Structure 1
């Protein structure tokens, strides 16, 4: 029999090896005044073999460009629209009738994401009512293939290290329990935004770079019987542990954002480091490996983001793009796709 250390190292090796290309999603952020047209962007996805798009807010021009492309779409509801949509199902029905129903035969809607990173926060209690209203409309429309969910950051935790001690914060717990109850009943996953970069940048003296960049060859963090060779797996398992502790061990996760900036913070944000992280992230997702806590879990992932966006706050936030606005690659991420 394999020892626990051997099992951990086997998971590390599997997570680092992609036997076959698995569709990777990329976030299409649009906070730039120099970005290409939606039609050009959709063609850029297709040229690079990217078959999953996450769009943070609905836009008719983007939806029109996506018709009959076979690009799976994860479509977001804007945070500022949540109060009105929670108050009345008519508001949700209007949103659905504008942005989903006219395209439902021509676009593969994978997820509808009710708010991005609103838990914790003053909009958190609006998420569940909107999810419930939207699910009622989807059921009535017989669109069972669309999963309703939301996307949350690691700030939902009160404690997140080591993973086995993870718990939701007092501020997040009530909203998260309601949301997880909905997701469990619908067999839908929770979307989570995970950035090893920010953890590393906050403490580069004590966090190994290869652990943050997903390419360590040895177990770096031992948590009881579970060994971690990369920070992404530890972050995912933090969610599995926290969800289990509030009674929802059956909810899966999708990594809805992850990336590394190529500029903005000196030697911590070089093009080479960004390329290394995102290439390793793509390999990690493509490996179809689970995590130490859930070896059989199927983990999907989205890279953040398609473009450098010049209207985002200064510093690293403007430099997460895989492509410049003129559609030149910042660095190669999909070298085997033509």
Structure 2
């Protein structure tokens, strides 16, 4: 089905570096800390602020040192995460209010918090207790925020694409897994609709490509690679197809107007020996092209002209992750050296960094 020839990756890297940023920058980053060699949070925040165009950051906990480091940083927002293990207790309002008082209120309003992510990929755990308490915890935290007179913070939860049924191809056939659609996702989407909060998803074309669809996964072709016979729409990249499958599933339940936030997506720069599609050039191509695509405001075939707030995974390589590829999703090494520049450095930083100059000279 793949008709595109492999397009030189340096061409896309060069474009990534010379195309100016739009004023509206919609790409953030996941700041993971599963490592023993990362710089202290205040250095990380200063680096993000002074050297990059990143203005949205997502963390996987409520680390007080990180929350404090982000205080009084103009134009930068933070997403914090409730651990999966805390979800059952937070389904009760007193516990939700206590959690809020202990973890967030001391840092407000100095630290700008945009979202509270309740757990991460909870449905994928298949833990019936966690799944049963997920929406009640989201409801309790929302009420706790209201009772504390806190505004501007939305509550959501990120989902893997495993929440879709195996028949979600083509994108127009997207649907949530049978048994979860009406009992789990309809109430969750109703919550998002009522609270004007986004539905968060973690699309990873890296986990869905085959050797013949590598360019399609990397945004490395403008050719129509996939045709949806129902909508008569063409797809040039897998990211759009994955988001449109999610949108189709939401529409089937009557919630097509709920906003979508891409809570995680990325590509590893290294992995196991001979692992297909893994390497510096592949990671640079995916992340660089993703940023341009998201910031273009083009949207997807089913959702044209929509902008999706998108968080790349991840800020740093994390050396305590369990596999080689998981350790190498970072945009930066722990010493702040870019693994490869994908268009998030401020303009003057590109020309000053010697490791990037080879991509700038054509």
Under a length normalisation based on structure 1, what TM-score does the superposition of the two structures give? 0.90
In the alignment, does 2:58 pair up with 1:43?
A: no
2:34 equivalent in structure 1: 31
Tell me the CA shift for residue 19 of structure 1.
6.2
In the alignment, does 2:253 pair up with 1:218?
A: no
Residues 221 and 58 (structure 1), Cα distance of their counterparts in 2 relative to 1, 3 Å cut: same
* Counterparts of residues 141-290 of structure 1 (less than 5 Å): 141-158=148-165, 159-173=167-181, 174-200=183-209, 203-205=210-212, 207=213, 209-224=214-229, 225-265=232-272, 266=274, 267-290=276-299
Q: Distance in 1 between matches of 2:114 and 2:222?
A: 34
1:55 pairs with 48, 55, 59, which one?
A: 59
Q: Distance in 2 between matches of 1:33 and 1:90?
A: 35
2:96 equivalent in structure 1: 92
Tell me the CA shift for residue 298 of structure 1.
2.2
Tell me the CA shift for residue 95 of structure 1.
1.3
Tell me the CA shift for residue 171 of structure 1.
4.8
1:7 equivalent in structure 2: none
| Higher deviation after alignment, 321-330 or 263-272 | 263-272
**SS of residue matched to 2:73:** coil
Q: Distance in 2 between matches of 1:97 and 1:82?
A: 16
| Higher deviation after alignment, 40-49 or 17-26 | 17-26
Residues 335 and 53 (structure 1), Cα distance of their counterparts in 2 relative to 1, 3 Å cut: closer
In the alignment, does 2:325 pair up with 1:316?
A: yes
Question: Can you give the 5+ residue segments of structure 1 that lack an aligned partner in the other structure?
Answer: 1-15
1:119 equivalent in structure 2: 123
Q: Distance in 1 between matches of 2:224 and 2:120?
A: 32
Q: Distance in 2 between matches of 1:19 and 1:210?
A: 24
**SS of residue matched to 2:29:** strand
Tell me the CA shift for residue 141 of structure 1.
2.5
| Higher deviation after alignment, 53-62 or 295-304 | 295-304
Are the equivalent residues in 2 in contact too, given 1:18–1:286 (CA < 8 A)?
no
Residues 23 and 293 (structure 1), Cα distance of their counterparts in 2 relative to 1, 3 Å cut: closer
Under a length normalisation based on structure 2, what TM-score does the superposition of the two structures give? 0.84
Q: Distance in 2 between matches of 1:335 and 1:25?
A: 12
2:303 equivalent in structure 1: 294
Tell me the CA shift for residue 43 of structure 1.
1.4
Tell me the CA shift for residue 18 of structure 1.
7.2
| Higher deviation after alignment, 51-60 or 100-109 | 100-109
Tell me the CA shift for residue 179 of structure 1.
0.9
**SS of residue matched to 2:325:** helix
Q: Distance in 1 between matches of 2:83 and 2:20?
A: 35
Q: Distance in 2 between matches of 1:18 and 1:193?
A: 27
Are the equivalent residues in 2 in contact too, given 1:119–1:172 (CA < 8 A)?
no
**SS of residue matched to 2:208:** helix
Q: Distance in 2 between matches of 1:125 and 1:290?
A: 33
